[in-house]
Each structure stands twice: as C-alpha cells, then as structure tokens.
Amino acid sequence: MPKLYEYFGLVFLFYSQEHEPIHVHGKFQDTESKAEIVFENGKFKEIIIKEVQGKKPLDIQNLKKFKKIVELYRDDIIRNEPHD
C-alpha cells in the first residue's frame, strides 16, 4: 500500500487493487476513513468522506485535516493513483 503523505501522524495511502472511484485512505493510530474524489463529465465535482468498513472513523479534527489535504493535493493524488 503506497504511502503518499504523512502529516502530524495522519497517514495518506492507497491500497493496491482498489476499486473506483479514485480515493485515498487516511489513517491515524487505530482509526481510518477514506476520501472519494468525484468527477462528473470529466470535471472535478466534490470530495466525499466515507467510513471504512470494520474500522473506527477518524475523529472530527483529523477528518477536517484529511479532507483539507485531499482538496489541496487532489491533482497529485490522481496522478499517483495506482493503475492496474
């Protein structure tokens, strides 16, 4: 699972062999959430934060940091997303 960034203990990563839509996981200690980067007609539309099945979600403070960093680096995240 390639690690993209680490910000004050909040780790941003991809899991290999993942599904669409393009998304990145954020982990902090024993918590994890994911951010889906949604496009419509080839244009960026929004970032949707979702829970990861079987994992405790990030707390509100880390969710805000996670979403903000994904917003700032979304183009870089898309370029680095693993392709099969």
Q: Does residue 72 sit in helix, strand or coil? A: helix
Q: Determine what percent of the chain is predicted with pLDDT higher than 70.
A: 87
* Distance in angstroms (rounded) separating the CA atoms of residues 54 and 36: 18
How many other C-beta atoms are found inside a 10 Å radius of the C-beta of residue 37? Answer: 20
Q: How far is CA 77 from the centre of its chain?
A: 8
Sign of CA dihedral 37, 42, 44, 45: negative
Structure confidence at residue 22 (pLDDT): 84
Q: Is the pLDDT of residue 84 over 80?
A: no
pLDDT tens-digit readout, 18-45: 667 889 999 999 999 999 999 889 899 9
How many other C-beta atoms are found inside a 10 Å radius of the C-beta of residue 12? Answer: 20
